[in-house]
Amino acid sequence: MNSEISPSKETSVVALTGELTIMQAAELKKRLTEALNSAQSVQVHIGKVINVDLTCMQLLCSAHRTAFVRGKQLSIVGPVSPIFRKMIDQTGFRRTHGCSFSPNSNCLCCGLS
């Protein structure tokens, strides 16, 4: 997994590429934590991800609600690779409304497929 964090006071971009599996999970957690610590809004790019598994989906979800709690924003931006889309469908992460954590917000995966 490669990630670049382009820091700016306002927006931090986490561009993920390559594999996002349990092997990269610990690192992903670190990256997301850093990004949320350093900026008000975090944009996650997943267009170049070639493989994603449940652990990383969980981490993204966790990051999303962490952002909410801190009054910040985290969103997935840019094109969604077919792998990612398939993962969302196959694992029932697709949401039509509501986040399980904060009922009035949208789920991270809303509108992604």
Among 29, 45, 72, 85, binds another protein (CB under 8 A): 29
Token duo for residue 108: 């991270």
Taking CB under 8 A as the criterion, the residue among 14, 16, 36, 46 binding another protein is 36
Asked if residue 18 binds another protein (CB under 8 A), the reply is no
Of the candidate residues 6, 7, 48, 69, the single one contacting another protein (CB under 8 A): 69
Q: Does 46 bind another protein (CB under 8 A)?
A: no
Residues 57 and 6: their CA atoms lie apart, in Å, by 22
Binding positions for another protein, rule: CB under 8 A: 22, 25-26, 28-29, 32-33, 36, 53-55, 57-59, 61-63, 65-66, 69, 87, 90-93, 95-101, 103
